Structure 1
Amino acid sequence: MLDPRQLRLDLALKLLSQAGARLPDNEPYSQAWLQDVVDALCDLSSKDALTGLVNRRSFEMALSREVDRVARSGEPALLLVVDIDHFKAVNDTYGHAAGDLVIKAVASALNQGVRPMDTVARVGGEEFAIVLPSCPASFGVMVAERMRERVSELQVEVAPGQVLAVTISLGGAFAPQWVRSSSLLWMERADRQLYRAKAEGRNRACLEVQVESLVSAEEKGMLFAVTQQESE
């Protein structure tokens, strides 16, 4: 049997320390201590360091799983993509430290406005994405508006006596039900709605109407390929 003390964990512990993660309190190399190290590494690899939200890699995995689930179950699911309005101006005017404070405040507001089953991720600098399983159209509109309003109420203190108001733009698209789609096509649909929200003045949510979620040529091809394989 391998002696746990023969494991070379110096690099892993150094990585956790540099990331500011809490190191295990249990007896070194005990089973509980090793489990804590593994859990901390998993947490580090799946979460965004600044906000604590799911990172892009974990989000893409969750998105792919949801596409498959919707194709099998036919239940509605909504993808929201979110952009902080005029974020570049915050960095240019107040500095990147202030920008980080704004990002963290928005991340917290978005995370507080969802169900435990939903996934909120930071997918870029000032960009976020949210997957909402089992989400009908009427509920999706309400959630998107609630998030927009919650963020618009923020007052982020970026320096002593300097408080910023923040707004976001949101775009949303429903996964096509009973169709073998892809996460990339789903993201493209949501992105189009985000661009529309920005074009219409920002600080708004634009959602693709569920009944108008057309099946694209790519999705038709994927569906035909699956049907053909099953008949062979």
Structure 2
Amino acid sequence: MSLLVQAGWTAPEGVMHGATLWLQAVIDGLCELSSRDALTGLNNRRQFEAAIAREVDRVARIGEPALLLLADIDHFKKVNDTHGHAAGDVVIRAVAECLQDCVRPMDLVARVGGEEFAIILPNCPPAFGQAVSERIRQKVAAKTAAIVGGQPLSVTVSIGGAFAPPWVRSSAALWSERADQQLYRAKSEGRNRTCLDMPPLTVVSAEEKGLLFAGLTQSDLTEPSGSGDPMPKTTE
């Protein structure tokens, strides 16, 4: 209970006089607390991993485009070394606010590492991918993150993104790897930029092809498309 109070939780009105309702409210509060990053209030890595697994499955079943963005604060170690970890925490919270302000309510924003963030954008057409990632990058660069010695402290972020291949039984790890490769590219090309792996450039990997055909029998593979009848057998 004390942990919930420290985190700013208060019991909803009307439950204090009912033991069952109060207990349920405490359980709900603990579940919420376990899914949130303590510093920023964003979703934590556990929630991100559950969400990306659901989304990659949904994309395979429905075919709607979905974008994964990975953002990393540029030269963050220098911020900590120069201004201290307290200033670093302020910077992380400021970047988290920018990310949350730039997305839709349906999108999921998570802090997945020290200065690393991830955003899952369901039903995001490729035409909007570059626009949303640039909006995030520009908003972070324009924000005053902290006041250090009377001077504003600003940071930038590098962003890498990838679209999940629609109608393909991929995996969260493969999707994340594509986005991470683009993040590495953004860093290596000078930072404070966005790089996206757009769908026309996405190649279905051998592992994804294996996932796509896993469980199919030989007869499934030889059955003509659009027909429920098996292929006719030839007679000797």
* Match for residue 189 of structure 1 among 174, 178, 184: 178
Larger radius of gyration: 2
Distance across 2 between alignment mates of 1:167 and 1:211: 29
Deviation at 1:230, TM superposition (A): 9.7
Give 5+ residue unaligned stretches, structure 1.
Answer: 1-12
Count, aligned residues: 219
Partner of 2:231: none
Q: Could you say which residue in structure 2 is the equivalent of 1:16?
A: 4
Closer/same/farther in 2, CA of residues 105 and 229 from structure 1, 3 Å limit: farther
TM-score, with normalisation over the residues of structure 2?
Answer: 0.88
The equivalent residue for 2:16 is: 27
SS at match of 2:72: strand
What corresponds to 1:198 in structure 2? 187
In the TM superposition, residue 29 of structure 1 has moved relative to its aligned partner by 5.3
Distance 1:49 1:229, change over 3 A: farther
The aligned residue for residue 98 of structure 2 is 109
CA deviations 1:55-87 (Å, max 9, x no partner) are 000100000000000000111100000000000
CA distance in 1, matches of 2:134, 2:48: 22
Report whether the alignment pairs 1:151 with 2:140.
Answer: yes
Matched residue type, 1:224: F
Tell me, in whole angstroms, the C-alpha distance in 2 between the residues paired with 1:221 and 1:119: 29
1:166 to 152, 155, 164: 155
Alpha-carbon offset, residue 42 of structure 1: 0.9
Moved over 6 A (4+): none
Structure 2 residues not aligned, in runs of 5+ = 222-236
Equivalent residues in 2 for 1:1-232, closer than 5 Å: 13-17=1-5, 19-24=6-11, 26-27=15-16, 30-228=19-217, 231=220
> Aligned partners of 1:207, 1:230: CA distance in 2, in Å?
39
Distance 1:198 1:125 in 2: 17
CA 1:211–1:231: 2 relative to 1, 3 Å: same
Render the CA deviation track for 1:167-220: whole Å, top value 9, x for unaligned: 000000000111100000000000000000001100000001211111011111
Which residue does the alignment assign to 1:6? none
Name the aligned partner's letter for residue 124 of structure 1.
G
More helix as a share of residues = 1
Structure 1 residues 160 and 78, CA gap change in structure 2 (3 angstroms): same
**8 A Cα contact 1:23 1:37, kept in partner:** no
The structure-2 alpha-carbon separation of the partners of 1:45 and 1:95, relative to structure 1 and needing over 3 Å to count, comes to same
1:160 offset after TM fit, Å? 4.9
Distance in 1 (CA, whole Å) between partners of 2:136 and 2:8 is 29
TM-score, reference length from structure 1: 0.89
Q: How high is the sequence identity, in percent, across the aligned residues? A: 62
